[in-house]
Amino acid sequence: YGHYFVLMLPALTTLAGIGATRWLTPERAITERRVRASFIAIAIGFFLYAVVYDGATNSFWRPNPDYRQASQYVRERTKPDDQIFVWGWFPPLYQAADRCPATRFVYTHLHTGKKGGGSEAAHHYVPEAWDMLMTDLERSKPAYVLDTSKGDYSYDFPPEDFPRLWTFLSASYE
């Protein structure tokens, strides 16, 4: 959950800048230069880690599952103001497709009562969420519906198991 620490970045970068100005003076000992080099090496290591790590899928170099093709497909076939709906537990599809959600729900665990990976989401089922979801879908008519239960997204709850949603999808989508 690296996004929890974003608020600390301005203060830490300011402190790092102050520290860097002190380190750059010529009268510092060789030991301090080694300490500086160590900190710089650590910072470079974290930077490289951030570049090659995909936090959405906890994988390196290439996301697994690789959601980029589905997102690109949607992005190429929709207009920027079109909306999409992701059934499941994988909202990075919205961000990668650069499309807004068609509903107020970026996760659907409130509808199934379960989170991804087959685990139970105790007390997460909210029956009235179905009325809200169906109202949103009928009002906004998403350009695409992405079903993460069919891929390797750890969401084993196909929309066919939920009659209200399946009726809407089979009437409006392929």
Does position 167 have pLDDT exceeding 60, yes or no? yes
109: nearest Cα among 75, 133, 137, 93: 133
Question: How does pLDDT run across 106-125, given as a tens digit for each residue?
Answer: 989 888 877 655 455 556 78
Lowest-confidence region among 10-19, 21-30, 125-134: 21-30
Strand partners, 91: none
Please give the sequence-ordered ranges of beta strands (E in DSSP) within the chain, or none if there are none: 53-54, 59-60, 83-87, 100-101, 144-147
- The confidence score (pLDDT) of residue 36 equals 77
Q: Please give the pLDDT value at position 30.
A: 64
Sign of CA pseudo-dihedral 13, 15, 18, 23 = negative
For the stretch 48-86, pLDDT in tens is 888 888 777 777 877 777 888 899 999 999 999 999 999
> Helix, strand or coil for residue 127?
coil
- Residue 40 pLDDT > 70: yes
Rounded CA separation 27/22 (Å): 10
Q: Quote the pTM value.
A: 0.70
Taking 70 as the threshold, does the pLDDT of residue 95 lie above it? yes
Is 159's pLDDT higher than 90? Answer: yes
88 membership: H or E segment, kind and range: none
